Chain A
């Protein structure tokens, strides 16, 4: 009797394993079957719902941004064009990896990418995106010229302008008031703020993103503010910028060496730094999510020659081998339209 019971238990366990194995082999949707059927030509006439075209788009957005994107931008486009837009979260650095793998496999699964403008060069140099030069006439006249030019490589346009962005400078108002400081407007004032914070607290509380792994946005801003060209590096402006950074360095927070766009929000919110530049999405995280209402933002400081900020934001590209290039370009035009741009500015700032 005990043996039969044991056998039944073992049999049941093996059964569960087999069911798990079969379930695990599933793909979650019926796209695979559909594709195979479409390839073999077995399905010629299907109900209109199954014929509905689908567009796969990658973007890198926060949850608040996704909410606006899905509700106010994607849904109206889907309704108007009777298509399905599958928008997927992929960070800019990972887009390169994914497209490279798909290109090598000869199976491009992404139709359109909304890519960080500071991460587009590898996509062009690796030949992962289409030349969109013939579609430059669809760029609205109101588009920011610098963003249009950012998508050009050797006179060919690979990316179309979509969503401009620029860093703002965050500061802790309570701490600034406590030490009688005001947000710095010049390099001298910046140095003074950094010195005062270090003097009062014993450690540096002013952070800049100075990771030595390729994040050059802020050093480049210093060079441009001093009238230099970051592509020359040894011109007068660059020398002036690096000389000033050398002077500023002892008073900076140690977090400057590890500050990224994500960690800077944490540094400001947990008050390990009282001043740091970052992208505007930080407002949602620090103030709305974190409840740190004392963290304020302003436009930043100027250098000895001019005020300069690096243009960030996103541009749109079409991967080589995109299965729905025509629809992708239609969606691109929609994203560049005044209607969408207004929604982005009003809802997301």
Chain B
């Protein structure tokens, strides 16, 4: 076993000085954050609209979302990557963001449709009676109540994008993401670099979880509607 014989920062210094850390870290942070923001921008209104549809229409939408998740990544990654390569999206952040959105949009929609469904329609009706417009109701009543579901969905999407490997492998050549960089050290590197890079990979995950977990409180709907 590796017993700790002495404390040294040599390996960490080596990792920081190698020049192999910052570009993948920057790329992974940019791609994961953009994927999360674009997903939120598109999915929050879409999920709300789906949740307020009739039972049959809602079932149809949710089922079609399941359908998009039926294909394994490895099976569809090649044809999708070929299309993106044709569009000159190799080594670009936007190419990777678009690839990640393919799987993350339906994933986030599932979570948020359930979140919005749980909000009683009576709450919106009460707001309307009080004179609030549709948009104001959404902004001041529905979204604040749904914030914990939105936070959970955002967190999952960010983490999924941060850890994504298959599309990154196809769509990256000169600039790598963090999972690809760790893959390199697992394949070719020493144990200490593996440990250092794995720790670095975990730090943003801890940060994002810490930031978003304060929204994960129960009781938002407590007493909102009379029984």
User: Which residues of A pack against B, CB within 8 Å?
Assistant: 17, 20-21, 23-28, 32, 56, 60-63, 86, 88-91, 94, 97-98, 100-102, 104-107, 109-110, 262, 266, 269-271, 281, 284-285, 289-290
Contact of A101 among B1, B170, B192 (CB under 8 A): B170
* Proximity bits, B62-79, A CB within 8 Å = 1, else 0: 000000000000000010
User: Can you pick out 13 interface pairs between chain A and chain B where the beta carbons lie within 8 Å of each other?
Assistant: A17-B37, A20-B33, A21-B37, A24-B30, A25-B92, A56-B173, A60-B188, A63-B18, A101-B85, A104-B82, A262-B188, A271-B1, A285-B191
Name the residue on B nearest A62 (C-beta).
B188
Contact B85 A285 (CB under 8 A): no
- Note all chain A residues with C-beta closer than 8 A to B92: 25-28, 32
Contact B170 A105 (CB under 8 A): no
Contact B88 A32 (CB under 8 A): yes
Contact A25 B169 (CB under 8 A): no
Contact of A290 among B93, B173, B183, B191 (CB under 8 A): B191
Contact A109 B78 (CB under 8 A): no
Contact A266 B37 (CB under 8 A): no
B91 within 8 A of A: yes
Given A24-B31, A271-B1, CB of A105 within 8 Å of CB of B189: no
Contact A289 B85 (CB under 8 A): no
Given A27-B91, A62-B189, CB of A88 within 8 Å of CB of B18: no
Interface size class of B (residues with CB under 8 A): 35 or more
B:78-134 near A, CB below 8 Å: 78, 81-83, 85-86, 88, 90-94, 97
Contact A290 B78 (CB under 8 A): no
Contact B188 A25 (CB under 8 A): no
Contact B30 A289 (CB under 8 A): no
- Note all chain B residues with C-beta closer than 8 A to A56: 173
CB A94 to nearest CB in B, in angstroms, measures: 6
B141 within 8 A of A: no
Q: How far is the CA of A256 from the CA of B150 in the complex (A)?
A: 46
Name the residue on B nearest A262 (C-beta).
B187
User: Which residues of B pack against A, CB within 8 Å?
Assistant: 1-2, 18, 30-31, 33-34, 37-38, 78, 81-83, 85-86, 88, 90-94, 97, 169-170, 173-175, 183-184, 186-193
CB A246 to nearest CB in B, in angstroms, measures: 32
Q: How far is the CA of A266 from the CA of B186 in the complex (A)?
A: 10
Contact A101 B190 (CB under 8 A): no
Given A62-B189, A101-B78, A285-B189, CB of A20 within 8 Å of CB of B85: no
Contact of B191 among A63, A105, A271, A289 (CB under 8 A): A289
Contact B86 A105 (CB under 8 A): yes
Contact A86 B174 (CB under 8 A): yes
Contact B173 A88 (CB under 8 A): yes
- Note all chain B residues with C-beta closer than 8 A to A101: 78, 81-82, 85, 170
CB A54 to nearest CB in B, in angstroms, measures: 11
Q: How far is the CA of A98 from the CA of B1 in the complex (A)?
A: 38
Contact B30 A23 (CB under 8 A): yes
Q: How far is the CA of A311 from the CA of B31 in the complex (A)?
A: 42
Given A63-B189, A262-B187, CB of A270 within 8 Å of CB of B1: yes
List the 7 closest A-B pairs by CB distance, nearest first.
A289-B190, A105-B85, A24-B93, A62-B188, A104-B82, A24-B34, A27-B92
- Note all chain B residues with C-beta closer than 8 A to A102: 85
Contact A20 B37 (CB under 8 A): yes
- Note all chain B residues with C-beta closer than 8 A to A24: 30-31, 34, 93-94, 97
CB B75 to nearest CB in A, in angstroms, measures: 13
Given A20-B30, A24-B93, A285-B189, CB of A105 within 8 Å of CB of B174: no
Contact B170 A97 (CB under 8 A): yes
Contact B34 A20 (CB under 8 A): yes
- Note all chain A residues with C-beta closer than 8 A to B173: 56, 88, 90, 98, 109-110
Q: A20-B30, A61-B188, A289-B192 are in contact. List 8 more A-B contacts (CB 8 A).
A: A20-B33, A21-B37, A26-B92, A63-B188, A63-B193, A97-B170, A101-B78, A290-B191
- Note all chain A residues with C-beta closer than 8 A to B78: 97, 100-101, 104
Given A21-B34, A101-B85, CB of A26 within 8 Å of CB of B93: yes
Q: How far is the CA of A269 from the CA of B195 in the complex (A)?
A: 15
Contact B187 A91 (CB under 8 A): yes
Q: How far is the CA of A97 from the CA of B73 in the complex (A)?
A: 14
**Could you say which of A23, A62, A106 has the most chain B C-beta atoms within 10 Å of its C-beta?**
A62
CB B34 to nearest CB in A, in angstroms, measures: 5
Q: How far is the CA of A109 from the CA of B84 in the complex (A)?
A: 13
Contact B191 A28 (CB under 8 A): no
Q: How far is the CA of A329 from the CA of B81 in the complex (A)?
A: 28
- Note all chain A residues with C-beta closer than 8 A to B193: 63
Q: How far is the CA of A97 from the CA of B186 in the complex (A)?
A: 19
Q: How far is the CA of A275 from the CA of B175 in the complex (A)?
A: 38
